[in-house]
């Protein structure tokens, strides 16, 4: 809608540490991102973290960042959420929010 156009779009990378694998963290992250209307991706890393990218209106991206920092999936225990490479983008680079293997 007009609101999103006015404030533009941002892209930010994230990595979440803690007990975040094997606890449906990716599935819940995807669900939360879709609820907020965001696009991007999420995947498990080989070193036990979950990482990905979020794109969308800044206010919505902030909401998912807070969720990644404090909430996560019911069984998860988040010790740290790091965000990097934040930048303004003119168009979304993903069609939806995907779980990558």
Residues belonging to the active site: 26, 44
- Alpha-carbon separation of residue 39 from 11, 14, 16 (angstroms): 9, 13, 18
C-alpha pair distances (Å), 35 with each of 19, 61, 63: 23, 12, 11
Question: Do the bridges between strand 77-89 and strand 9-19 make them parallel or antiparallel, or are there none, so unpaired?
Answer: antiparallel
Give the separation between CA 78 and CA 66, rounded to whole angstroms.
12
The token pair at 74 is 């019911």
């Amino acid at each position: 809608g007009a609101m999103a156009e006015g404030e533009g779009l941002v892209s930010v990378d994230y990595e979440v540490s803690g007990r975040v694998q094997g606890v449906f963290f990716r599935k819940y992250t995807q669900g939360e991102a879709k609820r907020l209307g965001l696009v991007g991706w999420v995947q498990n890393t080989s070193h036990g973290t979950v990482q990905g990218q979020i794109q969308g209106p800044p206010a919505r991206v902030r909401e998912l960042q807070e969720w990644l920092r404090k909430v996560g999936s019911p069984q998860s225990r988040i010790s740290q959420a790091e965000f990097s490479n934040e930048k303004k983008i003119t168009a979304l680079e993903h069609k939806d929010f995907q779980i990558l293997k």
